[in-house]
Structure 1
């Protein structure tokens, strides 16, 4: 009887030890799982933080890029404005200079016309006139390179933007308001009229 009791107690102890081992093993597994879950949560949290930081960096980069493009556009507009202002200034300076030279051109043309009308000239006078002609041609060549050109007048229909009527004469052989004589030459600088041509125009005979 005693032996049976001892055996039973030994068996119970073995079962208790076995159960304890199983419990410890299960407990260890649970702890490992909990640690793994905690590590996963930490990694997930760190990943979210990194993603948020990355998004913030991207937003900043996009903002800087947008500002840079805006500044580049502003700088290009500034350069274009400066170029336009420089062109306008140069054109204005050229126009002012050319306008100041127009009376000299008028005087040279008038003097040459008078000299050429005098067929009886001495050799010295002829040489002088030729010298003036060369000066006139050189001057017109230089101004021509700057864009100066005379306005067409005689034979052209009257154009109020290019011609200024001084007087009108009856001429039934021409259409009305045709330029029949140029009294003072007009000029264009590029496409801009810097002086209108003073002209006589035809008019129909009164019936």
Structure 2
């Protein structure tokens, strides 16, 4: 039966839509613009990756010793404390062995400070500065009306930084009760 319909022409013909004629030059221009956009984006992405990698390498180079330096600070502190607890008369009237021991401890402490500085580890200046919670750790407040409120008046332990990063904040005593150090619109965070 299907042969008869096909022979008699009873089957409806399916019309295939005629594609619109596309100008090959315009198609190539569109493709060229798309490829150019992709190349520019890839180039920008690679440039950003190069800059980010360069910054990461510089940070790693600068801060790679941060953990080691932090550990060395405790050894440096131990040498400083050893020198502080020695009585003054031991330095002046002690026997030659005691004087040599004291000189050796002083030499070791200076050398450790020099090596830390050589690798970018610097002490944080605190005394007389305005309290900065990013660099200082307040241990206590000192009632001192002669100093502006919020000023560091005593350093209990020196802080250190490597580059712009704090390795250890300075432990400080902060003035309380003096005139305001900052303008009235700036409030000092006393909760630190």
Shorter-chain TM-score tier: 0.5 to 0.7
Query: Is 1:84 matched with 2:71?
Result: no
Cα shift at 1:92 = 3.8
Structure-1-length-normalised TM-score: 0.59
Give the 3-state SS of the residue equivalent to 2:64 in structure 1: helix
Q: Give the SS at the match of 1:157.
A: coil
Quote the Cα distance in structure 1 between the aligned partners of 2:99 and 2:87.
9
Alignment correspondent of 2:111:
138
Q: What's the secondary structure of 1:153's corresponding residue?
A: coil
Corresponding residue pairs, total:
154
1:192 paired with 2:165, answer: yes
Query: For residues 93 and 116 of structure 1, do their structure 2 counterparts lie closer, same or farther at Cα, with a shift above 3 Å needed?
Result: farther
Change (3 A) 1:162 1:78: closer
Q: Distance in 2 between matches of 1:192 and 1:162?
A: 9
In the alignment, the residues of structure 2 paired with residue 178 and residue 67 of structure 1 have an alpha-carbon distance, to the nearest angstrom, of 57
What's the CA shift string for 1:15-68, capped at 9, x where partnerless? xxxxxxxxxxxxxxxxxxxxxxxxxxxxxxxxxxxxxxxxxxxxxx99999887
CA distance in 1, matches of 2:95, 2:59: 49
- Take 1:143 and 1:193, find their aligned partners in 2: how far apart are those partners? 14
Q: How does 1:141-156 map to 2 (within 5 A)?
A: 141-156=114-129
| Match of residue 201 from structure 1 | 174
Match of 1:108 in 2: 79
1-structure distance, mates of 2:86, 2:160 = 24
With over 3 angstroms needed to count, the CA separation of the structure-2 counterparts of 1:163 and 1:63, relative to structure 1, is closer
Relative distance call for 1:70 and 1:166 in structure 2 (3 A) is closer
The match for 1:95 is 66
Higher RCO structure, 1 or 2 (CA under 8 Å, sep 6+):
2
Out of 151-160 and 71-80, give the one that drifted further.
71-80
2:151 aligns to what? 178
Q: Does 1:126 align with 2:99?
A: yes
Alignment RMSD:
3.1
For 2:173 and 2:97, locate their aligned partners in 1 and report how far apart those are by CA, in whole Å: 37
Query: Larger helix proportion, structure 1 or 2?
Result: 1
Map 1:24-35; keep pairs closer than 5 Å. none
